[in-house]
């Protein structure tokens, strides 16, 4: 029977499903959401339009957009008992650990139906997740620093609301900086979906068993946290801080090329892109704008990152293996300049990617093919018997 199996470790050349959501041409460095180029969406759309596009297949007409925003506003509050979960965590817990727990626990709150087989229940669960995620992420930060948790303000858009819940001080009005709000919106748009990446595939596999949607998204958050995936944005900043100054770059590049050294250049390389990740270009440019806006043009972190990119892209090893900066290379520099601590970077990614995860969950509910069940090539012992 084993001879009939196709062996594809890491699913490098296996399509696990049909999907009409996102298209990537890795050689050309092209990314499309529902057929629209990411550059066009990032320039002309706001986050709620892109979320609607990914979840429902089309950009919203004005009245659909208002209805979508109304739904986000209706469902963005955290239940008082959900807020009490936070107090069970250590203050120094990693925000991603807290988010896995809190989002998974939402399964115990929203039991609209046993199996989410009704269209209406599915859409309500999807909206609830997208609506609540900024509050869940922001609370994991404010709890960690001992500041009271702030509630959403329905006069603000999705991105601005996240900023006020993160950085607003108790009983002081929060003044939205439009440049920073647009920058975080760009981060949300660019991270919203990326077809069958590890976390989305995990969500789909969990969903294939009929698991509760909140539990499925919790499994996606857990997978995203790994440093080879979404956790790379935090790892990049830690790496740049450790490098300290551009003159240490040759040594770092030498280590990244050494097969005996486990060190890899974080924020570089991609399973699908064998070209510049188009999201990295947009994030690099916006990072420059944010730094200029904040009077941080001479950021040593940015100088080190730009020099590291220059050196790597001229190096034979990186050229031959087609290793380019990915989405995680510059985002941490921008987030850090805005005041996000390194440990929140992957939580920001998770807020954005929730749109992609629920879009895939909704798609799977409509077009799924039953439970996922990969096979294996068995390498253990043949039949043997106990010594009696």
| Beta carbons of 340 and 187 less than 8 angstroms apart | no
Looking at beta carbons only, is 168 or 230 nearer to ligand SDX?
230
CA–CA gap between residue 112 and residue 233 (Å, rounded) = 36
Residue 81 parent element (H or E): helix 80-85
| Beta carbons of 33 and 58 less than 8 angstroms apart | no
265 binds ligand SDX (CB under 6 A): yes
267 binds ligand SDX (CB under 6 A): yes
**How far apart are CB 329 and ligand SDX at their closest, in Å?**
7
Residue 63 parent element (H or E): helix 62-75
Which DSSP category does 17 fall into? Answer: S
228 binds ligand SDX (CB under 6 A): yes
319 binds ligand SDX (CB under 6 A): no
Show the binding pattern over residues 100-129: x = contacts ligand SDX (CB under 6 A), - = does not.
------------------------------
Looking at beta carbons only, is 118 or 228 nearer to ligand SDX?
228
375 binds ligand SDX (CB under 6 A): no
Token pair listed for 194:
């990326």
Rg (alpha carbons) of the chain, rounded to whole number: 22
Show the binding pattern over residues 328-347: x = contacts ligand SDX (CB under 6 A), - = does not.
x-------------------
Token pair listed for 78:
């955290």
- What DSSP assignment string belongs to 275-326? S--HHHHHHHHHHHHHHHHTT-TT-HHHHHHHHHHHHHHTSHHHHHTT--B-
Per CB under 6 A, the list member of 122, 201, 326, 359 interacting with ligand SDX is 326
Looking at beta carbons only, is 123 or 229 nearer to ligand SDX?
229
96 binds ligand SDX (CB under 6 A): no
- The CA-based angle 266-267-271, given to 5 degrees, is 105
60 binds ligand SDX (CB under 6 A): no
255 binds ligand SDX (CB under 6 A): no
Catalytic residues: 270, 328
234 binds ligand SDX (CB under 6 A): no
| Beta carbons of 351 and 131 less than 8 angstroms apart | no
**How far apart are CB 143 and ligand SDX at their closest, in Å?**
27
The CB-nearest residue to ligand SDX is 269
CA–CA gap between residue 27 and residue 24 (Å, rounded) = 9
Number of Cβ within 10 Å of residue 188's Cβ equals 25
Name the packing angle between helices 278-293 and 178-191 (round to 10°): 170
Per CB under 6 A, the list member of 194, 204, 336, 365 interacting with ligand SDX is 194
Its sign, for the CA torsion 360, 335, 50, 15, is negative
Q: Which of 139, 180, 134, 141 is nearest to 161 (CA)?
A: 134
Region of 83-91, 130-138, 243-251, 265-273 interacting with ligand SDX (CB under 6 A) = 265-273
**How far apart are CB 71 and ligand SDX at their closest, in Å?**
26
Looking at beta carbons only, is 11 or 109 nearer to ligand SDX?
11
218 binds ligand SDX (CB under 6 A): no
Looking at beta carbons only, is 134 or 269 nearer to ligand SDX?
269
Per CB under 6 A, the list member of 94, 270, 284, 336 interacting with ligand SDX is 270
142 binds ligand SDX (CB under 6 A): no
Which DSSP category does 271 fall into? Answer: S
360 binds ligand SDX (CB under 6 A): no
| Beta carbons of 171 and 193 less than 8 angstroms apart | no
Per CB under 6 A, the list member of 147, 151, 182, 229 interacting with ligand SDX is 229
**How far apart are CB 186 and ligand SDX at their closest, in Å?**
15
Looking at beta carbons only, is 187 or 215 nearer to ligand SDX?
187
Which DSSP category does 140 fall into? Answer: H
Q: Which residues would be at the binding site for ligand SDX (CB under 6 A)?
A: 194, 197, 228-230, 232, 256, 264-272, 321, 323, 326-328
């Amino acid at each position: 029977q084993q001879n009939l199996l196709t062996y594809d470790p890491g699913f490098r050349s296996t399509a696990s499903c049909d999907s009409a959501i996102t298209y990537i041409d890795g050689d050309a460095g092209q990314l499309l959401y529902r057929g629209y180029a990411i550059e066009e969406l990032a320039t002309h759309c706001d986050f709620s339009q892109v979320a609607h596009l990914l979840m429902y297949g089309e950009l919203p007409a004005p009245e659909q957009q208002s209805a979508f925003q109304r739904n986000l506003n209706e469902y963005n509050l955290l239940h008082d008992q959900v807020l009490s979960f936070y107090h069970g965590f250590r203050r120094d817990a990693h925000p991603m650990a807290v988010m896995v727990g809190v989002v998974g626990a939402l399964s115990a709150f929203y039991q609209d139906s046993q199996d989410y087989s009704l269209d209406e229940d599915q859409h309500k669960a999807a909206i609830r997740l997208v609506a609540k995620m900024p509050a869940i992420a922001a609370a994991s930060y404010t709890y960690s620093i001992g500041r009271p948790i702030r509630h959403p303000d329905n006069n603000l858009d999705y991105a601005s609301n996240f900023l006020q819940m993160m950085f607003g001080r108790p009983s002081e009005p929060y003044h939205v900086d439009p440049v920073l709000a647009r920058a975080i919106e760009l981060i949300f748009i660019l991270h919203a979906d990326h077809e069958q990446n590890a976390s989305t595939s995990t969500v789909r596999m969990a969903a294939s068993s009929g698991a509760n949607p909140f539990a499925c998204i919790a499994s996606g958050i857990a997978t995203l946290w790994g440093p080879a995936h979404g956790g790379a944005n935090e790892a990049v900043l830690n790496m740049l801080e450790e490098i300290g100054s551009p003159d240490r770059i040759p040594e770092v590049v030498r280590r990244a090329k050494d097969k005996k050294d486990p060190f890899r250049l974080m924020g570089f390389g991609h399973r699908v892109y064998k070209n510049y990740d188009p999201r990295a270009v947009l994030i690099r440019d916006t990072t420059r704008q944010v730094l200029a806006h904040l009077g941080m043009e001479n950021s040593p972190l940015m100088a080190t990152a730009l020099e590291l990119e220059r050196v790597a892209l001229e190096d034979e090893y990186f050229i031959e293996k087609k290793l380019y900066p990915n989405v995680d290379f510059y985002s941490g520099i921008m987030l850090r300049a805005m005041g996000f601590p390194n440990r929140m970077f992957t939580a920001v990614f998770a807020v954005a990617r929730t749109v992609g995860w629920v879009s895939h969950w909704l798609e799977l509910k409509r077009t799924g093919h039953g439970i996922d069940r990969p096979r294996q090539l068995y390498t253990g012992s043949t039949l043997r018997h106990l010594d009696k």
